[in-house]
Structure 1
């Protein structure tokens, strides 16, 4: 199993390029940044009474990834996650292809459909349309990444034959992973992305439905993934597990279930404190390298 680091990159925490550099030096396979373009004051935060400051002040993920690419050479660089329906898919395809070129083919694109209705609506997307917009956006991006003349005709996007370079270094396109929970997420992950990025709950309660995934259902979820892959003629879905600490209990459980990647969240602390946490994570996983 591979190990990655994720962080909410902001101006008050360790700069993302330094965190990525630190993670690479310690042998982590991947480094991820999160995204919220803004947080409307009217937001109803689903997992607390108040929206934390870090949600209101995240760096642009693509700029952060490009900065990290400039000071690293081997670590994969990704989003965990990019709220895709808030982006123009042509611009998004261009940005990620550029980063994939700059980094030498190290992009991992973790995507989500979003949870915040007013934030989504400020981007001109109806909240009820977010999943269909996400699916079409992925389809548009794949076409622009892989075809010399790209065209797409769907419900949300109607694009006449067009040219766009650069193409990604990774062929036909970078690794894609869909984050989310709920009854339809596995079908969407297989159909749209080829990867699933669940946030696992260590202690499950009913209020987490649709937000996080019960850890104890992982075996059942994998059986469902295998069935869906066979039905759709898709390759094995890559699982990137989030939300768990790097203790032997959880690492062994993920290994037993053949999970491909464990992503550990670094705190939004100043540089020395965040670096210390990444050091501690590296020590905790050293026996599993």
Structure 2
């Protein structure tokens, strides 16, 4: 099982290249960044973590710009989003951005995606929250067309364009990791993804997670698809928990790093590296 980290990279915390170098030097397998394009000052959407939304949500760097800088100072680790709010981007522009990033990173980009939870943030992009999942899937389908076709064309409910040329193409088709834990998320992984990125925590029922992983892979095999990967988001940094994720079929865990200065983040990386025996 691979071990990677994710963070809200902010303008008041550790800088991206320093974090990327330190992550690779300590033997981790990947580094993933969150995304929020904006946080409305008047908020009605509930946040799962409590009544007050932490300031990191409104201070995050653009993940694609930051990951490009990280790519220039690393050679091995996967670099990805966890998650990108795909429906808040135009798919033609996002296809070019992600393809450019993958080429800069030498084929190391992984595209973790989700529909998001902040309805006011979506509304600022002209997105009706009631259509967010359908829109996300359609954007992903359009992006994949542009990544893989010399003359891409798409006609859907939310995205419509006649044949276009758009280069560069990614060095490889980046793996699409579908985030979420809802009752239909496995359907989305099978229809539009290459892997699943479920969130976990102290109270996660790992037996239930194992059952869903087994169901996902059983359904993929029945459909003649390759084996979907499973990346556990928010892994509890505890050896017993790690053993349970591995037994459940996880391919990789993502540990959270603090949105803090260099000294605190590097200490956290050292602690996590010690946990995994490196």
- Do Structure 1 and Structure 2 share a fold, with TM-score over 0.5? yes
1:202 touches 1:215 (CA, 8 Å); kept in 2? no
Distance 1:232 1:138 in 2: 20
Matches within 5 A, 1:54-65: 54-65=56-67
Shift of 1:21: 1.0
Q: TM-score, normalised by structure 2?
A: 0.96
Distance 2:161 2:222 in 1: 30
Distance 2:188 2:92 in 1: 21
1:246 touches 1:285 (CA, 8 Å); kept in 2? no
Distance 1:219 1:78 in 2: 24
**1:52 and 1:256, CA in 2 relative to 1: closer, same or farther beyond 3 A?**
same
Corresponding residue for residue 182 of structure 2:
182
Query: Quick check: 1:19 aligned with 2:19?
Result: yes
- Residue 200 of structure 1 aligns to a residue whose secondary structure is coil
2:213 touches 2:230 (CA, 8 Å); kept in 1? no
1:179 touches 1:196 (CA, 8 Å); kept in 2? yes
Query: Quick check: 1:246 aligned with 2:247?
Result: no
Corresponding residue for residue 230 of structure 1:
221
- Residue 94 of structure 1 aligns to a residue whose secondary structure is helix
Q: What is the total number of aligned residue pairs between the two structures?
A: 276
- Residue 133 of structure 2 aligns to a residue whose secondary structure is helix
Q: TM-score, normalised by structure 1?
A: 0.92
Distance 2:98 2:272 in 1: 28
Matches within 5 A, 1:1-289: 1-43=1-43, 44-47=45-48, 48-170=50-172, 173-203=173-203, 214-286=205-277
Distance 1:276 1:202 in 2: 22
CA distances 1:206-245 after superposition (whole Å, capped 9, x unpaired): xxxxxxxx43311210222023213433211110001222
Query: Segments of 4+ in structure 1 off by > 6 A?
Result: none
Shift of 1:246: 2.4
Corresponding residue for residue 207 of structure 1:
none
Distance 1:53 1:151 in 2: 40
Distance 1:95 1:103 in 2: 12
Shift of 1:262: 0.5
Distance 1:46 1:11 in 2: 22
Distance 2:224 2:120 in 1: 37
- Residue 166 of structure 2 aligns to a residue whose secondary structure is coil
Q: Runs of 5+ in structure 2 lacking a partner?
A: none
1:201 touches 1:215 (CA, 8 Å); kept in 2? no
Q: Runs of 5+ in structure 1 lacking a partner?
A: 205-213
Distance 1:164 1:156 in 2: 20
> Which has the larger displacement, 45-54 or 228-237?
228-237
